[in-house]
């Protein structure tokens, strides 16, 4: 698996890939018909050079400056047909590489966790995966207070948003 910045996917394909991956793992948490991202947002992220891709377009992530030498990573997505093949590790390394190229020391990301502890097992697995990789849980927030465009109000299962942080020097 190589990484690369040559984007060979359209914004429509990128949107579909992200929404498909998120829907398969957390679609049951949201109101019927709700999707995590829309095409206008992807167009903006592409224009602002905030997306990183693997060369085969099997994984992508959004990386953008936040504040005081920190950045956010989000929409970390592996194509559904390529999951379980190590691409998550590779795209997270690309996130770290992009953060370093932006002069950032720390990266934050968010993991959605159902409060009942069992209706979203993928979230728990993902959280544990990041923690094993050296990320640290620094805060827990209400998605209603964090997600843009009132998206948190679309949740049908009560959730918390775990905020994780990693230092680019040891991830």
Q: How confident is the model at residue 158 (pLDDT cuts 50, 70, 90)?
A: very high
Q: Where are the domains of the chain?
A: 3-167
Q: What CA–CA distance (Å, rounded) separates 128 from 131?
A: 5
CB–CB of 104/71 below 8 Å? yes
In the numeric block, which tokens belong to residue 48?
């602002």
In the numeric block, which tokens belong to residue 82?
């390529």
Residue spans of beta strands (DSSP E) within the chain: 3-4, 51-54, 59-67, 70-78, 106-114, 136-141, 159-167
Average confidence (pLDDT) over 114-135 = 92
Q: What CA–CA distance (Å, rounded) separates 50 from 72?
A: 10
pLDDT digits (tens, 9 = 90+) for 40-69: 999 999 999 999 999 888 899 999 998 887
The class of domain 3-167 in CATH terms is alpha beta
CB atoms within 10 A of CB 27: 15
pTM, entire model? 0.90
């Amino acid at each position: 698996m190589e990484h690369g910045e040559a984007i060979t996917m359209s914004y429509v394909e990128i949107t579909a890939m992200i929404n498909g991956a998120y829907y398969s793992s957390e679609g049951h948490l949201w109101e019927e018909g709700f999707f995590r991202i829309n095409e206008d947002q992807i167009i903006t992220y592409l224009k602002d050079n905030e997306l990183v891709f693997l060369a085969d377009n099997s994984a992508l992530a959004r990386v953008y400056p936040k504040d005081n030498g920190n950045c956010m990573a989000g929409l970390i997505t592996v194509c559904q047909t390529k999951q379980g093949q190590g691409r998550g590790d590779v795209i997270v390394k690309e996130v770290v590489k992009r953060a370093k190229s932006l002069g950032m020391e720390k990266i934050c990301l968010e993991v959605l966790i159902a409060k009942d502890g069992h209706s979203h097992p993928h979230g728990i697995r993902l959280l544990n995966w990041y923690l094993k990789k050296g990320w640290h849980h620094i805060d827990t927030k209400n998605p209603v207070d964090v997600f843009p465009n009132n998206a948190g109000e679309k949740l049908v299962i009560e959730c918390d948003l775990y905020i994780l942080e990693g230092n680019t020097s040891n991830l």
